[in-house]
Amino acid sequence: MQEKDIYMAKEAMQSAMKKGPTRVALIIGVILVFFLLLRPWVQIGAGERGVVLNFGAVQENVYGEGLHFRMPVMQEIIRVDVKVQKAETDAAAASADLQDVSSTVAINYHIIPDKANIVYQSIGIYFKERIIDPAVLEVVKAVTAKYTAEELITKRPAVSDAMKLSLTERLLAHNIAVDAFSIVGFSFSKIFMEAIESKQTAEQLALKAKRDLDRIKIEAEQTITAAKAEAEALRLQKANISGDLIELRKIEANLRAIDKWNGILPQVTGAGAVPFIGVGDIQKR
């Protein structure tokens, strides 16, 4: 072998040794990038649960909050919100007295966390449209039919409790829990509302008339009582008047007249006797 060939072989060997680590690093880098693209982990946020799918089949285990690993390609994780959510539904029904009633119902609900996989498998993610709205409509119609239109107003708490109880039972069968229930409002036909208003007006007028009548009775009783008291006072005063009292009153009157006399005798014509005031009365005594 010539010296030149030996030199070239040496150079080729050194070049191969220099390229080897670079290729290894490149291969490792490609593997890491591919690994990251497959995302072999999943993060479940607060108020969520992870439904595990193996090639599309729902599994029994449900991932809780936090970081979890999955098998790339084979497994898929579906996040299901289990926080309390709000839903409003408009419902039309008929009361026991056949009055048309329109109501708006608001509920707070949540998916039972441990049953998130069953809910996803049987319902999907459209809970309100598929389960909640139809259940609310059915419950409102069933409960409203047990009360008259007037009772729906006067017994609203009882109506609300009955609806909540029935709705809770229906949704619990689908692994949905009801946290709160409220009837936002009842509305009736215009004719019925006018009839209610007229009835209330008549009741108010009747109540006012009753109060006026009671007042008149009390005033009449007060007048009669005052008249009786005055008559009794006059009777007692009359009973106390006697002959001695009359004579005493006459003497008092004569004494008051003497006190007022100025000492000048009146000028009289005729027999000329000097008059004395009350002489006849004094002689009688």
Q: Are residues 92 and 69 in the same domain?
A: no
Give pLDDT, residue 112. Answer: 94
Per-block mean pLDDT, blocks of 10 residues, the chain (285 long):
55 56 64 63 90 91 89 87 92 86 92 93 87 93 90 89 94 94 83 68 72 81 80 68 65 73 59 49 45
Q: Are residues 90 and 161 in the same domain?
A: yes
N-term to C-term CA, the chain? 193
Cα(68)–Cα(64) distance, integer angstroms: 9
Q: Say which amino acid occupies 32.
A: L
Q: Are residues 77 and 90 in the same domain?
A: no
Cα(282)–Cα(251) distance, integer angstroms: 9
Give pLDDT, residue 63. Answer: 93
Tally the C-alpha atoms within 13 A of residue 160's C-alpha that lie toward its C-beta: 16
Give pLDDT, residue 72. Answer: 79
Residue 52, phi then psi, degrees to nearest 5: -90, 130
Give pLDDT, residue 18. Answer: 56
**Domain carrying residue 51:** 41-81
Give pLDDT, residue 279. Answer: 45
Residue that finishes a domain, picked among 122, 156, 188:
188
pTM greater than 0.75 (yes/no): no
Q: Are residues 51 and 104 in the same domain?
A: no
Torsional sign, CA 240, 243, 244, 245: positive
- Name every residue whose Cβ is closer than 8 Å to that of residue 91 and which is 6 or more positions away in sequence: 102, 103, 104, 105, 136, 137, 140, 141
Tally the C-alpha atoms within 13 A of residue 156's C-alpha that lie toward its C-beta: 11
Report yes or no on 15 lying in a domain: no
Report yes or no on 16 lying in a domain: no
DSSP reduced 3-state for 84? coil
Q: Are residues 113 and 177 in the same domain?
A: yes
Report yes or no on 109 lying in a domain: yes
Report yes or no on 269 lying in a domain: no
Domain total in the chain: 2
Give pLDDT, residue 120. Answer: 92
Q: Are residues 112 and 174 in the same domain?
A: yes
Report yes or no on 211 lying in a domain: no
Q: Are residues 98 and 174 in the same domain?
A: yes
Residue 86 near residue 108 (C-beta atoms within 8 A): yes
